Amino acid sequence: MSSRYARARAVCRRWLVLYVPIAALLLGVSTAVGFLLGSAVPIESLPTAAESGSNPFFPDELTTYAIAVNNLVAMFVLLLGAVSLGIVTVAGLVLNGLLIGAVVGIAVQQVDPIVVVALILPHGVVEIPALLVVAAVGLRFARLTVRYLRGLEDELVTERDLREAGWLVAVAVVMILVAAYVEATLTLEIAERVAGRELGSV
């Protein structure tokens, strides 16, 4: 047990301790910027459910499969930092943050902020860490590539690097699937209980 714990700590130290905070900072700052942009959108210009046929924040059909595919694609994009010197990972974090922030900034103009939190938190506590782990993998591979090009590493990647990254990505995939299930089956129900009414026709 102690050797497994030591290996797990070593993996965390190599892959997560430095890179997850960097990824979280990029996502957090861009989310804040997106929120300010979304909050600046006049409420009068937002489409209503009657005008659009369905509410843009509460789609008529939200399936585990559709959510999982969407988030797995986002995860794959973040992983591409491994072959792009981190550029794609950074861009993916920033774009996702801007989108999340803008949607939240607009949503709080239509429903109570506590309800918005209830719409994000149940699946977000699983989904966001999974995306940050994958972003960390992309960023670390990018750093290893830079170090190799500068002659500071003898190998571009080692067998250990590939094995550890594979395990981290596999765990993140499982987390994404769990988050998709929670979002499709539980999140809206929880938010409606918090709101005390149906949210599909806000």
- Contact between 33 and 97 under an 8 Å Cβ cutoff? The reply is yes
Q: pLDDT at position 42, please?
A: 79
- What average pLDDT values come out for the chain (202 residues) when binned by 10 residues? 84 96 98 95 62 48 89 95 94 96 92 93 97 97 95 92 96 98 94 83 44
- For residues 129 and 175, is the Cβ–Cβ distance under 8 A? yes
pLDDT at site 202 = 43
- Note the pTM of the prediction, 2 decimals: 0.89
Q: Which two tokens stand for residue 50?
A: 């009657």
- Nearest CA to 197 among 55, 62, 113, 188? 188
The pLDDT value recorded for residue 54 is 47
- For residue 3, count other CB atoms closer than 10 A to its CB: 7
CA separation for the pair 169, 132 (Å, rounded): 11
CB count, 10 Å around CB of 194? 17
pLDDT in tens, 95-107: 999 999 999 999 9
Closest CA to 57 of 17, 115, 114: 115
Residue 61: the pLDDT is 63
- Beta-strand runs (E) in the chain: none
Taking the C-alpha atoms of residue 172 and residue 177, their distance in angstroms, rounded to an integer, is: 9
Q: Scanning the structure block, which residue is given the tokens 């939200």?
A: 62
- Using CA atoms, how far residue 120 sits from 21, 52, 124, 146, in Å, is 21, 23, 5, 36
- Calculate the alpha carbon distances from 135 to 8, 72, 91, 116, 197 in Å: 19, 12, 11, 25, 37
pLDDT tens by residue, 144-181? 999 999 999 889 999 999 999 999 999 999 999 999 99
